[in-house]
């Protein structure tokens, strides 16, 4: 099985590489190269990127900052990451558009669903920035929302681990990797693979989620081709 239209969720931390903060240009270039290979096969790809490598709203709020203000700052951080990805993709020859949920007309288009779909139909990568434009929602939830809005066939969440385990693999060497798992199980067991609201939104719209390790080069192409990589979250809505 291969997919025609997909949404890739990248965390801000994925852009850090071995750094403790900010952006590693080498890592961004490697991601762009993988995405370019996929787009050149005819797959329509949208991307939602986080901002945790620059600013994490929840962390700032826990330190005393107003939560809404902290979240807005985090949204702006995602725009910085989106522009970085756009530049890297266009250096690979891939036409790319950044659509921001917060109006920044000098650097990005406003988010307009029909325009985003048209870009995808023209084989342009669309990067959704600034989250949903609302505080108190994460970029995981944004990824689920945008996937539903653009009629993506699947949501790919790129992480630093191989998938969903029955326990923490860093503390339990015998932890078992799930190949498939249901939305309901993830929610009932409070598995922190994605926010509960993101899982519920995908469940209600019957959008499968594939959680996989971004660090292994070639994994994005493998999951797009439908190979058994990581953990597939799905089941009856």
Residue 208 among known ligand-binding residues? no
Per-residue pLDDT 10s for the chain (237 aa) are 589 999 999 999 999 988 889 999 999 999 999 999 999 999 999 999 999 999 988 888 888 999 999 999 999 999 999 999 999 999 999 999 999 999 999 999 999 999 999 999 999 999 999 999 999 999 999 999 999 999 999 999 999 889 998 887 778 888 889 999 999 999 998 888 899 999 999 999 999 999 999 989 999 999 999 999 999 999 754
Residue 166 among known ligand-binding residues? no
Q: Could you tell me the CATH number of the domain that includes residue 11? A: 3.40.1160.10
Residue 128 among known ligand-binding residues? no
Residue 214 among known ligand-binding residues? no
C-alpha gyration radius of the chain: 17
Does the CA dihedral 153-92-214-139 come out positive or negative? negative
Residue 180 among known ligand-binding residues? no
Residue-level pLDDT at 237: 46
Residue 168 among known ligand-binding residues? yes
Residue 11 among known ligand-binding residues? yes
Domain count, the chain: 1
The residues with which 125 forms a beta bridge, in sequence order, are 96
Residue-level pLDDT at 90: 98
| 213, 164 Cβ separation under 8 angstroms | no
Residue 64 among known ligand-binding residues? no
Residue 160 among known ligand-binding residues? yes
Residue 159 among known ligand-binding residues? yes
- Give the CB-side neighbour count of residue 49, counting CA atoms within 13 A: 33
Residue 135 among known ligand-binding residues? yes
The domain in which residue 187 lies consists of 5-234
Residue 235 among known ligand-binding residues? no
Residue 56 among known ligand-binding residues? yes
The C-alpha atoms of residue 153 and residue 174 are separated, in whole angstroms, by 33
pTM for this predicted structure: 0.94
Residue-level pLDDT at 18: 83
Q: Which two tokens stand for residue 105?
A: 């007309």
Q: Which helix (H) or strand (E) holds 193?
A: none
């Amino acid at each position: 099985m291969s997919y025609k239209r997909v949404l890739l969720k990248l965390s801000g931390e994925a852009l850090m590489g071995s750094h403790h903060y900010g952006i590693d240009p080498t890592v961004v270039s490697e991601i762009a190269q993988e995405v370019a290979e996929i787009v050149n096969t005819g797959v329509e790809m949208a991307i939602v990127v986080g901002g945790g490598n620059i600013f994490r709203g929840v962390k700032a709020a826990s330190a005393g900052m107003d939560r809404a203000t902290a979240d807005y700052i985090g949204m702006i951080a995602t725009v910085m990451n989106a522009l970085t990805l756009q530049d890297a993709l266009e250096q690979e020859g891939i036409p790319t558009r950044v659509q921001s949920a917060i109006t920044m007309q000098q650097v990005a288009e406003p988010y307009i669903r029909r325009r985003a779909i048209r870009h995808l139909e023209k084989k342009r990568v669309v990067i959704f920035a600034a989250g949903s434009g609302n505080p108190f929602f994460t970029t995981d939830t944004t990824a689920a929302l945008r996937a539903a809005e653009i009629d993506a066939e699947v949501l790919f969440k790129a992480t630093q681990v191989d998938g969903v385990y029955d326990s923490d693999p860093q503390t339990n060497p015998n932890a078992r990797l799930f190949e498939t798992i249901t939305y309901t199980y993830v929610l009932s067991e409070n598995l922190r693979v994605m926010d509960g609201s993101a899982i519920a939104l995908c469940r209600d719209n019957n959008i499968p989620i594939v959680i996989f390790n971004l660090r292994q080069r070639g994994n994005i192409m493998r999951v797009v081709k439908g190979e058994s990589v990581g953990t597939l979250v799905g089941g009856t809505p």
